A and B are shown apart, each in its own frame.
Chain A
Amino acid sequence: MLSERRSRSFIDPQVLSRLAAVPLCARRPMQGSVSGRHTSPHRGASVEFAEYRKYVPGDDLRRLDWRAHGRTDRFYVKEFQADTNLRCCVVLDTSGSMGFGSGGVTKIAYAKRIAGAISYLAAQQGDAVGLACVAERMVTDIPPRRNPAHLSVLFDLLERAKPEGETQLVPLLHQLAETIRQRALIVVISDFFADPAQVRECFEHLRFRKHDVAAFHLLDPLELGFTFQRPMRFIDLEGGPAIFAEPNDIADRYHRALHRYLETLRKAVVETAVDYHRVHLDEDYEPVLMRFLVGRTRVGGVR
């Protein structure tokens, strides 16, 4: 699929080929437009038996189960589950804070790899993929589509995504929850530097709209460890005021604040059933994605 296109910095074909062995599954029924490999809330013509239903005039006689009629002398119609595709919408946080990275790779670069891989995997199995880049506004928003050309456009947009501006993740997630049609897989890739209570409201909103929400929380090891030795002047990547601090003086309180934030967020994602993945930037993205895919397989099952 990629051979005829130019290579992308965030796409590693070998990784993708290994990840392709595991399907991308939805954790809940999806309402696709075409047949696919995901469960649909409707009955259809798959090989997966769903239920028997009493015959009512007008039903297709071909679907009458004559064996059941022979046993019970009543007319039953045999129904099967429908197979459908899913709409996957990747939400990429492109705010200024995503430009941070202490170990050579920035959050935005890492996020692009995850977004690229998920987009490719979804498209490969016939699912529609869309992309929304959010910062202080909706930078990019392309709706999910299934054709490979669309994937190329999506990669182009990913390529061009730059970390800048303040984070307005919360209002933009609310906006997306309203604009994306029901029952989509929404993958949010962000550092989630927002109020955890507001983030929770976003997740609840998406959940209310029957979306399957997955979140990749990107954290840099330096942000977690705060292992500075000398006095530092911290310049806000999102344009806020700079802070001068003595790390030894502030470290314990920083860790306390960080710990409280992570705990609140973890509680929020558990209670809103978000497929949450905390990702450290020093970790390779392949196992992260593998863990993501396998986890979903266990929950949603493979068709």
Chain B
Amino acid sequence: MSFLQPLLLAALPLAALPIIIHLINQRRFQTIDWGAMRFLFEATRMSRGYARIRQWLILLFRVLAITALVIAVSRPLASGWVGLMGGGRADTTLVLIDRSPSMMQQGTGTVSSKIETAVSQLSQALATLGSSRLVVIDSAAREPQELSSPEMLAQSPAATATSASADLPALLQAAHDYIKSNRTGQTDIWICSDLRANDWDAESGRWKSLRDSFLEFKQGVRFHLLAYPELDPENVAIEVTNVRRQKVGDSGVLLVSLRLSRTGGDGAKRRLPVSFEIDGARSEIPVDLATKEIEIKDHPIPLESDRVRGWGRVSIPADRNSADDEFYFVFDEPPPRRTIIVADQEQEVRPLTLAAEISPDPAAQSVVEVIQPSQLSTIDWSDVALLLWHSPLPEAEAATEVEAYIERGGRVMFFPPAAPSAAKFAGLSWESWVDSPEPLRVQSWRGDQDLWARAQSGAALPVGELLIQRHCQLAGEFTALATLAGGDPLLARAPTPRGGIYFCATTCSPRDSSLATNGVALYVAVQRALMAGTAELVNTSQLVAGHADVGERAEWTQVAGPEILLSNEFSYQAGVYAVGERTIALNRDPAEERAGVLSDSRLKELFRGLDFHRVDDQAGSVRSLAQEIWRLSLAGMLTAMVLEAALCLPKRRLETGEPA
């Protein structure tokens, strides 16, 4: 139990008053000369069980009455927040709200979502508890917003879910920065979340530094987690995995691949109508969902012949979590497959040029541009799908530009220069050339994934037929995709969060290898890298909410999406937006529905050493988090007094008879 006026609990020793009075009374006895001692002796010999219990009960009820009175004036709270006010009233209360789409899940038999319930509960609880300063930090903007009163919390934009996944470590970091910069006193941090593993990112190394930095605060920081871990096993989510426009005769067809997934795994077979909306035109197909997940590949939707770009939306009937019941997409003409080859001599890279130029899809346009390293600054990186680098590794500004390109999702493949330098890129550098007296063969290669993976039929690529006369050794941390006899890598991939960085340890020159003459392996590698890069270019229009860093906020115009939406929330909410000349579709992170709930033990581990309390609630719950129960205490006091009075009532005296 917690109290709003805990200082008044100092009066609790008053509860000992009845006992003290009783003891004093015992000492204030009178002495009397008495004749009828035989009755006293007889009375003392009788069983005195009830009488003694009665005396103790009377004392107990008196003590309870005073205790209840003291508790009543201390304004007790009925709540699951153990120790809520244990350290006194908080100077600053920070409310961290997880606005991830999963917080839109409604409770059983109610229309209130998790986030609405959480905000309502917190609003009530904070109104009861009070705080000098109330600050809200939501997971979308991560900007501290000071509120004048807890009632404002429910009206704040932070009280609605977005399509952007939450980043709890970043949210706590924002809270930490606020506490540090504002030098707050005793601080309560309230976290409302549904504990989705992808939002909490429990494996992140940031948690340790966060824990340590919070422990450094001397003023005391208490964490209260209002958790809504309940999952809806019947929830179905829809996600568009690929959209392509294909020309069929005079008209076009939009091929939409989508995936339906159910939270609760295998269950009863359900038939769901999937609605497609292309620029406002609707169509619908029924889909039988019998397993946990079902994927529909290239569902064709006819397009008008002159329509080459547009947007669309797929949706299923609303279930308890409406956030994952629709998905937006945009389509456009496929971008040209543009390859930039950086080489000192154009002649040397002729095989590469051919491999990049010859597109497997006759409809796709391939453009290859060979430039000198010095011309790098003239490149417009926005539509580059693949960069082939046949020159010393980039340094300084060139390296920065290439890194930015890779960060955007681009692919780059480095080939060793004739004279390797000490330059490093992505932690890797070329060492020295190795001339083999006998041509080396590829001893092993990754046939399960990446550039030299098997063909779709399952047939292996003829990588083993390659003959390598010269290769350049590679230093640094890499993943070998193909290894030569002797252990040196032929094709390696550098670790990178986005994009792809490949290092090919030999060149296409006939004196170095048979890459050009036995061109299948080279062609496949180049085309696959090109395809991946092109896909990234397409994906620049298909973004995850919260991660879209496109243009100025003022340039954004909503094309489709939620009707009532603040313009500064555009980048967090699913929908279709026009940004300048581009049209982008924002959606939730598909990892959101696939992620499970963070385990209790893992959660405890995250807050180890910190003052942390957790209470589980349910969406739509009407049970208050903190409710004053002084009336209950007063009722308890009255009950104790009535019982005490009843016990004090003199018993009916036995009739001693009239004089005979």
Contacts and interface: CB of A to CB of B under 8 A. Distances in A.
A279 B659 contact: yes
A179 B357 CA distance: 153
A135 B151 CA distance: 89
A276 B660 CA distance: 6
B44 interface: yes
A259 B34 contact: no
A250 B44 contact: yes
A100 B35 CA distance: 6
B655 A259 contact: yes
A278 B51 contact: no
A243 B41 contact: yes
B29 A233 contact: yes
A249 B658 CA distance: 26
A96 B34 CA distance: 10
B35 A243 contact: no
B52 A249 contact: yes
A256 B40 CA distance: 11
A230 B659 contact: no
A232 B31 contact: yes
Contacts of B48: 249-250, 253
Contact of A232 (B29, B37, B657): B29
Contacts of B396: none
Contacts of A193: 35-38
Given A255-B653, A255-B656, A277-B660, A100 B29 contact: no
A257 B35 contact: no
B46 interface: yes
B33 interface: yes
Given A193-B36, A255-B656, A279-B659, A231 B25 contact: yes
Contacts of B37: 97, 193, 234, 236-238, 240, 243
Chain A CB within 10 A, most for which of B35, B651, B657: B35
B55 interface: yes
Contacts of B40: 234, 243, 245, 250, 254
B397 interface: no
B657 A263 contact: yes
Interface string B620-660: 00000000000000000000000000000001011111111
Contact of A256 (B28, B34, B44, B46): B46
A207 interface: no
Interface string B55-90: 100000000000000000000000000000000000
B181 interface: no
B554 interface: no
Contacts of B29: 230-233, 244
Contacts of A99: 33, 35
A262 interface: yes
Given A231-B25, A231-B29, A262 B44 contact: no
A217 B37 CA distance: 16
A262 B55 contact: no
A258 B657 CA distance: 10
16 contacts: A99-B33, A100-B36, A191-B36, A230-B30, A231-B28, A231-B29, A235-B31, A236-B37, A240-B37, A249-B48, A253-B44, A255-B654, A255-B656, A261-B38, A263-B657, A276-B660
